[in-house]
Structure formats: structure tokens, C-alpha cells
Structure 1
């Protein structure tokens, strides 16, 4: 028996077995990545495994019966002891095994960085932990969308608008944590108990109400409830003429602050800035605009812009309408949800938001929007100073390219605390965590996004980003394809997918996606025609000062041509403009 084992060792049979096993495992992992990319049948992986298992005994047989010599493969009994080089072959096999082990260990480390998507239980546990550790939970409130009790269902925009206006007034109160509109409105028409809603929103108080509008008369019923005990802290009914709507909003807001006065420990310093009286028709148009702005789709944004312009036409001094117009124009750029050239969209948006600030220099949302357009940190600081509960101000500030990763996380966590059910905030939170190396937490946040909007653009785009960060390029490509099936007109994503496919060696498909984008010169780079790529990029993008992808291609062209200074210039500009390509 010992002689057999010695002979097996001499003929490297054990080493071949080990090497074959490791190689087979690596091949299976590669196949797991490549099979979905190539859209091969599901049985392909099983076939690869079957072939691998079938080949194992043949590998052992050839290792036993044959020897690899300088003259080629010979039967073992044809090679004399003096001619045998099995020891040298064994060393080479050792090197191969070592290399395969390095590859396998590297892959395992990648795998460990990307846990399974998990279940919603993980997210619930995280939310419970956040709720337990949230500071000053007794000073927190969520304003639910007021129920439209009017005979006309089209008046829903009005009841939503009143709810938001009250929320905005409350958000200015120091020490009062007010959940953002997007999270609170997630529970519109929900049958969940208030205690469950409060738990998910991580607040201790809920304001709910209803609105009945008839002609020029309005009845608003509002009640403030302590969620844990279901105790009514305050309730009142307001019967007014519509001309007094702004006074009613202020009256309700101040009554709520008074009801929470002892909890807030505000003493007499609890006043908030009163709402400015505006022409009622202009305000109605503004509320309609906000209703469509929140949908974040090209068609609805076009309607929103029309309503904001109508509002401005009726009341040219209405700062909120100008701010809404600016926000909508920014969203209508080709790098967001519309097709306006980014420079045109930003210039028009900047004019509108500057007008809003000129009319009302204490408008927190206007400063946040101007910060979004220009990237100026001081605008975000001013916005947060005026409204410490404005989640988007924290989020947009977190995405500035001059922030350290720790600063970005601190800001985005604050936005998430204020707006825990916003898919936009959650998506940016997940990608920021991923960039910081907090992969597991990023996947927990992704689970939440998926539970809120399983097939939404943000869910899909966050998935392909996280898979890409984790090195699972096959899955990243798969979800980019899914995204582009839904949004085939996204030229920048077409180009990004082309780059990834090119890196994976799928040249034909890469060229197909380049031709579906606006960035055709990439085709020549993929085809390794570098000189023509450089020429075409310089012709098509002489300045590229309003196009992130154009700036990136111009930077790459200059780098390939050895113009380092110019390459740095264009890459730096691209970094600045890339700030505008977030998913806000």
C-alpha cells in the first residue's frame, strides 16, 4: 500500500487532483458570472459541472499513465528513470495550484463583501434599532396627508397641498423633528394603525385631518395624536372662507406647537414665520404644480412647469412658485428626467431660483434648490439654518464632491432620519455607504428600497451600482440591461453599459449599446481604433462644457494622446458636472 501511495506521489496524481478541483471551482464561479451576461440557458451551469466531474477521472488516469516530457506526452512505462522529470513537473503544478488558490481566495473575499439581499426582516431590525437610538423621539411628528372629503376628487391636490404647507411651517420649529413629506405621504390611503405608521416613520406624534371644500367655504378638521397611547393631544375644526386659507394654516400650526409646548420645552420662544398671503388662484396653480413635480416623470414635470408658470403669471411675486419652477427645470434636463440640454435647463433654473430668493430671502427650499444647481455649500447651510428638517438639503449637500466620505455619510444619515421611506434618499444612502466600504449596511438599505418599489428605476440602478462595487460585474450588467429595457432613451446609461460590456470582452454588444447612445465615438475606442477615436471626440466635443460623458471622453482622448494637462482639465470639469447626475 505504501508503495502505491509513493508511486501516486511520484507521478503527481495527488497534485493533479488538487489542481483540477481548484480549477473546476474557479471555472464554475466564472461561469456563474458569464452565463447571465451571455443570457445562456439555466442548464448551462449544470452542464459545466457535469463536464467537470466527468473529466476528473480522466485527469487522474492521464496523470498516472502518462508523463509530460520535453518530447511530448509519453506513456509512463516508456520513460526511463533517468529521463523522468516528474519532480520538475510537480514543481510547475505547485506553482499552478498556488496561482489558482490566489484567484480563489480573491474571489471568496469579494463574495464575503456582498451578502445576499437578505429579507425584509433585516430592514425591520435596522429600523427598530434606529428608532430605539433616535434622539429626542418625544419631539417628533409626522403630518399625514389630509383626507379630501370634497365631492370633487380632483381637489385632492388641494388637501395634499394644505398638509404640506402645515408641515413646512412646523419644520421651522427648533427642536421639533418633522418627517419629510415623501415619507409621510407613503401612507396615503393606508389602513395601517397610527402606532405602526409612527413606528415606521420613527416619530411619537401624528397629525391627521380632513378637508371639505364647497364653493368658497372650507372646513378643516385636524387632530394631534400621541401614537404610542393613541391619546388625542389636540383637535379642532376650522370653518372659514377660502380667502383665509393661509391664516388657517398658520393657526393650525401654532395650535400644534402649543399642544407640544411642554414636550418641546420651548417656553415662549416657539413662534414660527407666518405664511405670506398670496392670491388664492395663484396658490391653487402652485399646489397643482407641486402635485405633478413629485411624480418625477417627464410628462408630469412638463405639466408641473406649466402650473408653476400659470401661478407666476397670476402672482409674479410668489416666491414658492418661482422656486418650484426652478426645481422642475432642473429635473427636466437631459441628465435627469427630461431632454433639455443641461446648460439650458440649469441657466433657466438658476434665473428662477434667484428670483425666488430675491422675493423671499428666508425661503429654505429656494436656497436648497440653488445649491443643487450651483453646488454652493453656503446655500445648503442657509437652507438648513432656515429649516433644520429639510431632508433634501442634507442629501444634496452630502453628494457634493468636496465632501469627505465621513462628512457625506453624516449628512445623508440625517436626511435618512428625516425621510426614512424616500426611495431617493435611501438610494443615495446605500450608494454612499457602499463607497465607504459599508457593504452589508448598504444591502440592508437596498432591501428597504426594494420593499417600497420593487421594479422602480432607483431599485434597479442601486442594485447594479452595488453589484459593480462588489466586483460582481455579471450581475451588474444584468441589472443595467433591465434598467435600459425600461428606460431605453437614457443615453448615458447606454454608454456606461457599453463600457462595462467592452471590459468583459463582449465587443459586438458593446458597440450595439454605443450606437443607441449619443456617444458614437466610443465605438472606435472599443474597436481599438484609438487615433480615429481621438479625432472624432475632438470634432464632436470641442468644448464639452455641458456634457458629463462628453467631458469624460474628451479627457480620455487627451490622455491617450499624451496631453496630460488637458486630460486633467476635462476630467476635473466632468467631476464638477457629474454632481448634477444624482437621483434626487
Structure 2
């Protein structure tokens, strides 16, 4: 492997008292550190153009293109950690020491070595808990670009570093660092996108908190059937980007845009929100909320109601039941839940397992947190669907138990009903699936996951044409939807006997598994393309040598026997074994 050299700003961070924290509560410490890394560290490193090149249980090393970016990130991270610690249970704060160096490094693969890295590590050891120490080279670069205060600690001899090094300590009490396609048609009903909330003051405090605020406002707006709300998945594509509001609205086909910012300091939070008519680029409404942190959920309700009451047509706001039914008073549990959701959405075995750890922690901190129970059930369900669990029967029992608990705690959580509907489908209990699906839709009618599931369930019930409309609506709500939406659409077209459109939908999936090839085999067979059908049948047997029509059909949940026989007939025509 080729070894090269380059100049880089290296940041070393280490958890203070890691061994003590682990001895007191190893599982809780690991979960909390993972939540901090996902919610705070990774977003800030990305924001300032850095990358993590080495991760340890008690710390990390990151590389930045400039010393200024590295110090800005370090200062923002220490501020965010301090704010998060104020929300931790008594006696459980997590502090970091950070060192930053600018120097020559050796590059081998994705890893970095040499004195440039070693010196950053030694500087970290000199820092106080919650503090930052930098080398003279970093101080020189930062002093002329950022308005920061440093204390000169003089020259120090550091372990395994040949020459004495002049060290500077950043004064954390000083001010924070500052730097000098086609356009879809508009829906009939009022349409809106909520752009990711920003920290507009320039302080890099609690990036995850702004993300959580954005997601919860989207969810609350989605409760209103009178609105067409762009999904969080699409909204977050614009995170940390400088955007033209009119252009974003034109791209997404919406009439209104919400922009906002969150500033959290100590026990208070300030949220500013503005509603913009994208067509005229005119501000319709703006408001600022300055509250004690424990009122954050009431703030979300106020923002939602104010926006809805201002929209064209003056839609009437729905009841304020959530104001009297706060999800949790424990912000540490909320922090773990947010991180767990992020990991869940990555859809791979390792992150699924990490998400479960965090959701377990959220529930341990607040056993009555309904949304955490619902998402634990969803994450276990993901492991069950993709066979990432050792015992499928035991996992399904856990899913059912988590949803039972969540439902008993909060019957108004749309995710609980969404997952219960999906669970009922797997047992062919179509009536139960319809009940929970309708409850989910009534609670959150613009959640793309709920909307696409409506199309999926209608297809199983024998109403594929209606199912197609709902699935297409889901792709409209979330233009950046997961690939599995194409699977749902392809199956709906197949059941509707619209074989050409079914084939086209499945072809949009990048990596086809044996189930996709089986549908393509059946669709081509019904379309009269026997050569293509047999080609896909061969792919099925190559990917799943033990495939049989009988076993495969146990994974299909058709209510109508005619739909089941139609599918079996296509598989047989393609030449797949009984």
C-alpha cells in the first residue's frame, strides 16, 4: 500500500474518567456515548468538513482541512456537551478533553500516523475536562481568523515528542467562534416543506436538538389532513445547505416553506420560526419562542398551530391533545431515541443492533416513554424482516410485547399503529391490519411510511388500483424514498395485471434479490415473454437454490384466492419448481 504525506489539522478527543463511568454503569455509559457521537460529534465534524479516521471506546481522532475548522468544531462540541450534561440524570455528566494540532502526517489507506497525530493526542492529555489545548501552529492560524481568547501555557515537554512544544489553552468562557428537473404540479390542498432548523447565531450547540425539533414539527403538521407535508427524509436532504427558498419549493412542488432556528443555552431554549409564501418569496408570519427547556413540546404545539392557522384557507387547527400528553420529561431518553432513529434508518445489521442498545437505554431512563417502545418494536421488526435475529419467534414475541406496551401508554402514536398493522399482515389478520392502518393514517396522514403501507395493504386486500394511487402519493411525499417503495409499486401493478408497469417498477431497484426476480419471472410469463420469464427464474434459483413456489407463497399475504392463484400461475409458467 502506498504511503504519502500531507499537512492536516488533527483533533484528538478523549472521555474523562471513562474507566470510572464504565465501572459504575457499563451499558448506560456505552449507550450514552454512542448517542452523543451520533447526535453531536458526527454532525459537527461533517459540518466543519472533517472526517473521523480512528474511533476508540473512549475517544476519537478526526482530520480537518484547516486548523480554523478544527478549532471551531472543537469549541462547538464542548459547548454542546456542556449543554447536554445539564439534562443528564444527577451525577452522570460526560466531559471531553480535546487537543488540536497542525502538522505533517503519514497517510496509509484511510488512517493517519506520525508526530502530527501523536502531538494532538498529547495536547489532549493537557486539557482540562471540557477544555481544549492547541499547538503554536494552530494558535497562529486561528488567532488571525477567529475572535477567540487563548492562554499561553508556555513550552512543555511531551511524552515521545522530541522537541518542547508551546501550548495554548482556549478560554471556553469567551465568545463562541465566528467566521468573518421537472417541476411537479402543486397539490390542490395547501402544501408545505419544513427545512431543517438551524443554529443561526453561529453557535454549534446541540445540532441534534435542532434536528429533533424539525422532525417533531413535521410530525405535528402531518397530523392535519388538510395539509400536504413533505416527509422528513426529503426535508433533511437540505440540511446544512444554503438554499434558495423559491427554488426548493419549485423542485418539491409546494406552496409554503418553513424555516427556523434553535438556540439552546443552559435550561432555556429559543426557537424562531418563519413561514414563507414561496411563489411570491414573501414572509407570511414569523415568531420567536423563548421558554424553559421543559416546555419544548409545548413550543412545538404552538409552532404547529400558528403555522396551520396562517396557511391559505385558514385551516382549523386540530385539538391540542399532545400539550397535555408530553412524550417524555427525560431529555436524556429523548437524546437516545433520536440517535436510535438515525441508526435504524441506515438499515444494516450493525446499526440495527446499535439502535436497539440506544432504545433500550431510552426505555431504561423513562419506562413510560411510549414512542421509545414503539421504535424499539419497529427496530426489532426490521431485524425480523431481514433475518438479522438469532431467534425469529422470540424476536416477533418481543415486537408484539413492545407494541402492546406502547399502545397502553399512548394510543395516539401513529408509529405504534403503523407497526401493529404491518405485524397483522404477517399473520394474515387483514381486519386487524386495516383497523390499525386506519388509526395510523388518522393520526399522521402525511407520513410517507404510513402512506406507502396503505397502498401495500390495499394490494393485499385485492384493491391494487387504489393501492397504486397511495404508493404513488408516498413517492410524491418523499421523492428520495427507499428502494423498497418500487417493490410495493411493482407488486401492486402485478396484482392489477398491469405487467409492463410492474416490470418497469422492479427494474428501478438497483440490486434485485430472489423475490424481485420471482415477481419479474411471473410478470414476464403473464405478459407472454417466456424467454425473459425463464431467465429470471434461473436467477431466482441461483440466489435461492431451495426455492419452491409453495414455500415462497407463504410470504405473500393475499386475501383474495384469485390473486394468490394468479401469482402461482405466473410462477409456474416461468418454470419455477413447486
TM-score bracket relative to the smaller structure:
0.5 to 0.7
State whether residues 150 and 211 of structure 1, in contact with CA within 8 Å, keep that contact through their aligned partners in structure 2.
no
Partners of 2:333 and 2:361 within 8 A in 1? yes
Contact 2:205 2:263 in 1 (8 A): no
Measure how far apart 1:351 and its partner are: 0.9
- State the match for 2:551 in structure 1: 551
Q: Distance in 1 between matches of 2:517 and 2:352?
A: 26
**Which one of the candidate residues 430, 436, 442 is aligned to 1:385?**
442
TM-score by length of 2: 0.55
For residues 372 and 383 of structure 2, what CA distance do their matches in structure 1 show?
Answer: 16
427, 449, 458: which is aligned to 2:486? 427
1:368 to 414, 418, 431: 418
**For the structure 1 residues 348 and 195, does the alpha-carbon distance in structure 2 shift closer, same or farther, using more than 3 Å as the test?**
same
Selected match of 2:454 from 387, 393, 397: 397
User: More deviation in 208-217 or 160-169?
Assistant: 208-217
Q: 1:185 aligns with which of 228, 236, 239?
A: 236
Secondary structure, counterpart of 2:206 in structure 1? helix
Is the Cα–Cα contact under 8 Å of residues 257 and 270 in structure 1 kept in the other structure? no
Asked if 1:135 corresponds to 2:223, the answer is no
**Selected match of 1:288 from 329, 336, 339:** 339
| Pair 1:350–1:150, CA change in 2 (3 A) | farther
1:273 is matched with which residue: 317, 321, 326? 321
Residue deviations 1:8-30, cap 9 Å, x none?
xxxxxxxxxxxxxxxxxxxxxxx
In structure 2, stretches of 5+ residues that fail to align are: 1-180, 426-432, 556-560, 569-578
What is the alpha-carbon root mean square deviation over aligned residues?
3.9
Deviation at residue 410 of structure 1 after TM alignment:
2.9
Aligned to 2:313: 264
Q: Deviations over 1:520-558 (max 9, x none)?
A: x56xx9xxxxxxxxxxxxxxxxxxxxxxx9934999xxx
Aligned pairs (5 A) from 1:447-462: 457=511
CA contact (8 A) 1:427 1:462 kept: no
* 8 Å Cα contact 2:233-2:481 kept in structure 1: yes
In structure 2, the partner of 1:318 is: 369
The answer for unaligned runs of 5 or more in structure 1 is: 1-123, 451-455, 479-496, 504-509, 526-548, 556-567, 576-584
Question: How much has 1:232 moved relative to structure 2?
Answer: 1.1
Partner deviation per Cα, 1:182-213 (whole Å, 9 max, x = no partner): 22223323444222322332221111222233
Q: Hey, which of these two has a bigger chunk of helix by percent? A: 1
Q: CA shift at 1:384, angstroms?
A: 1.0
**Corresponding residue for residue 103 of structure 2:** none
Aligned residue number for residue 151 of structure 2: none
For 1:229, what is the secondary structure of its paired residue?
coil
User: What is the deviation of 1:440?
Assistant: 6.3
Deviations 1:234-277 (A, max 9, x none): 122333332221122122112212222xx23435x544432433
Q: Give CA-to-partner distance per residue, 1:333-392, whole Å, 9 cap, x none.
A: 2x3272344333222111101111110112122111111112221110111122222322
Provide TM-score, normalisation by structure 1.
Answer: 0.54
Shift in CA distance, 312/152, structure 1 to aligned 2, threshold 3 Å: farther
What is residue 236 of structure 1 aligned with on the other side? 287
Question: How many equivalent pairs are there?
Answer: 364
* Alignment of 1:339 onto 2:392: no
